[in-house]
């Protein structure tokens, strides 16, 4: 990789207070506090609002069905909609997203059909969509590993001269993994067009930020890689959108990577099988629920007169339609072929795997099964 040393290296630290464009009460901050970022247009903010409402409805529906035991697991992103969608809506379809298990609503907003997202949470297969079709990688479980994939893909695009960027989400807990460090460092030295969005929701399952790191904020790490670092109010969709947009533009035009910490909160359990009462009190949770990102943007749009009753109706219809699509997808019996187990291990054929496939086929045949079968017990 030819290393370009011309670009000046940042060596400033972010402010203590997270960057905002719209405050708690739904009021835009004065222009002089916007640090050179522009408030997104009403059209953009309306779109983000619409998609946040749709996403929350969808997330609520999945959570409900998971509670009924109809999905094997589901990690909700409720409360993180501004970080998730402020990011994703700033992306172009040709940019790549590298999401985690937490980021289903981001994947949804990228255009992946509900049924394809549910594939892994229901347990049919590990990933339900074709990553190339949506420029969206599988939702990753091994923490922080996806950051390196994003840096690699971004570097490949840069080498090929394609004006795209790779965006990746990572949680506060996962930033403790060695892979996150390696990814930030590789991205810095290779000037890979990558945007790292750290969703600091202040918990890694049960472990609070204070036991995760002594860093004042995670964005303080950026300077150690010579890359720009931003500390953003992760419940302010306008700020997230603005900072991610400018990072994407910089990335696509050769300006290298950016680290963006979105400060938010996980108001739900880690997953449906978690029990948060063991490790945090509900007061803290309530306080953060009160800072709801959707309500904040709603207040702003209302104050701007940009959210009519007709809008609400259409948004609600879209949200209900999304929830319905989800229920429908889940109501369809999964089509599972046990023999598919052997089909994708390698691209090349393997005689020994064929033997194992045939053994299972005859086992299934001898059990009177037709070979194809519904899953579950």
Partner 1 sequence: MAKNSAAAADSATVTMASALNRAMREALSEDSSVVIFGEDVGPLGGVFRITDGLTRDFGENRVWDSPLAESGIIGTAIGMAMYGMRPIVEMQFDAFSYPAFEQVVSHVAKMHNRTRGAVRLPMVIRIPTSGGIGGVEHHSDSSEAYWTHTPGLTVVTPSNPADAYSMLLEAIRSDDPVIFLEPKSRYWMKEKSEGNLEPLPMNRARVVREGTDVTLIAYGPTVSVALETAELGTHEGLSVEVIDLRSLSPFDDETVGASVRKTHRAAVIHEAAQFGGYGAEVAARVTEREFYHLAAPILRITGADTPFPAPLLEKFYLPNPERILDSLSTWQWED
Ligand X SMILES: Cc1ncc(C[n+]2csc(CCOP(=O)(O)OP(=O)(O)O)c2C)c(N)n1
Alpha helices in 123-236 (DSSP H): 131-134, 145-160, 178-190, 209-212
Angle at alpha carbon of residue 352, lines to 350 and 356, rounded to 5°: 115
Of 171, 228, 257, 293, the residue at the interface with Mg ion (CB under 5 A) is 171
- Contacting ligand X (CB under 6 A), which of 14, 99, 173, 322? 173
Distance, in Å, from the CA atom of 112 to the CA atom of 17, rounded to the nearest integer, reads 35
- Told to check if 149 binds ligand X by CB under 6 A, we report no
| Both structure tokens of 136 | 């969206």
List the single partner that 102 binds among partner 1, ligand X, Mg ion, none, CB under 5 to 8 Å by kind. Answer: ligand X
Q: Which of 40, 99, 171, 229 binds ligand X (CB under 6 A)?
A: 171
| Closest separation in Å from C-beta 262 to its own copies | 17
Does 102 bind ligand X (CB under 6 A)? Our answer is yes
Region 267-306 residues binding partner 1, contact defined as CB under 8 A = 273, 275, 278-279
Q: Which stretch binds its own copies (CB under 8 A): 31-39, 161-169, 222-230, 242-250?
A: 222-230
**Does 363 sit near partner 1 (CB under 8 A)?**
yes
Using CB under 6 A, pick the residue from 143, 219, 294, 297 that binds ligand X.
Answer: 143
In whole angstroms, give the CA distance from residue 63 to residue 73. 9
Q: For residue 259, count CB atoms less than 10 angstroms from its CB and return exposed for 0-12, middle for 13-18, buried for 19 or more.
A: buried
- 279 catalytic? Reply is yes
Q: Which residue has the tokens 């922080």?
A: 144
Q: Which helix (H) or strand (E) holds 167?
A: strand 166-171
Residue 203 as a binder of ligand X (CB under 6 A): the answer is: yes
Contact with ligand X (CB under 6 A): which of 172, 233, 261, 292?
172
How distant, in Å, are the alpha carbons of 42, 208, 241, 266, 267 from that of 140? 33, 22, 23, 18, 21
Reference 261, options 194, 197, 357; nearest CA is: 197
Q: Does 6 bind its own copies (CB under 8 A)?
A: no
149-178 residues in contact with partner 1 (CB under 8 A) are 149-157, 159-160, 166, 173-174, 176-178
Q: For its own copies, which is the closer residue by CB, 181 or 289?
A: 181
Catalytic entry in 20, 270, 296, 300: 270
101 catalytic per annotation: no
Residues forming beta bridges with residue 103, ordered by sequence position: none
Contact call for residue 93 and ligand X (CB under 6 A):
no
Catalytic residues: 266, 270, 279
């Amino acid at each position: 990789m030819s290393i370009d040393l011309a670009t000046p290296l940042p060596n400033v630290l972010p402010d203590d207070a997270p960057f905002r464009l719209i405050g708690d009460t739904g009021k835009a901050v004065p222009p002089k506090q916007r640090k050179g970022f522009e408030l997104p247009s009403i059209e953009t903010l309306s779109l983000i609002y619409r998609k946040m409402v749709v996403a929350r409805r969808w997330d609520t529906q999945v959570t409900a069905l998971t509670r009924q035991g109809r999905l094997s697991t589901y990690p909700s992103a409720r409360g993180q909609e501004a970080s998730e969608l402020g990011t994703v809506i700033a992306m172009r379809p040709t940019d790549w997203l590298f999401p985690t298990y937490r980021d289903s609503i981001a994947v949804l907003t990228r255009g992946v059909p509900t049924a394809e997202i549910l594939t892994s949470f229901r347990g049919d297969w590990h990933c339900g969509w074709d990553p190339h079709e949506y420029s969206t990688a599988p939702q990753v479980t091994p923490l922080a590993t996806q950051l390196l994939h994003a840096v690699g893909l971004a570097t490949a695009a840069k080498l090929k001269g394609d004006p795209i960027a790779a965006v990746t989400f990572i949680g506060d807990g996962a930033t403790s993994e060695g892979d996150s460090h390696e990814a930030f460092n590789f991205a810095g030295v290779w000037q890979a067009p990558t945007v790292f969005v750290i969703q600091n929701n202040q918990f890694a399952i049960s472990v609070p930020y204070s036991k995760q790191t002594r860093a004042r904020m995670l964005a303080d790490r950026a300077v150690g890689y010579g890359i720009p670092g931003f500390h953003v109010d992760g419940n302010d969709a306008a700020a997230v959108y603005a900072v991610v947009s400018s990072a994407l533009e910089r990335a696509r035009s050769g300006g290298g990577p950016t680290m963006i910490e979105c400060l938010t909160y996980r108001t739900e359990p880690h997953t449906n099988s978690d029990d948060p009462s063991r490790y945090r009190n509900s007061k803290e949770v309530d306080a953060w629920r009160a800072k709801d990102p959707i309500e904040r943007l709603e207040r702003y749009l209302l104050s701007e007169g940009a959210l009519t009753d007709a809008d609400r109706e259409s948004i609600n219809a879209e949200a209900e339609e999304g929830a319905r699509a989800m229920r429908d997808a889940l109501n369809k019996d999964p089509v599972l072929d046990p023999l598919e187990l052997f089909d994708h291990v390698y691209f090349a054929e393997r005689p020994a795997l064929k033997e194992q496939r045939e053994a299972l086929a005859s086992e299934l045949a001898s059990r009177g099964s037709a070979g194809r079968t519904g899953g579950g017990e």
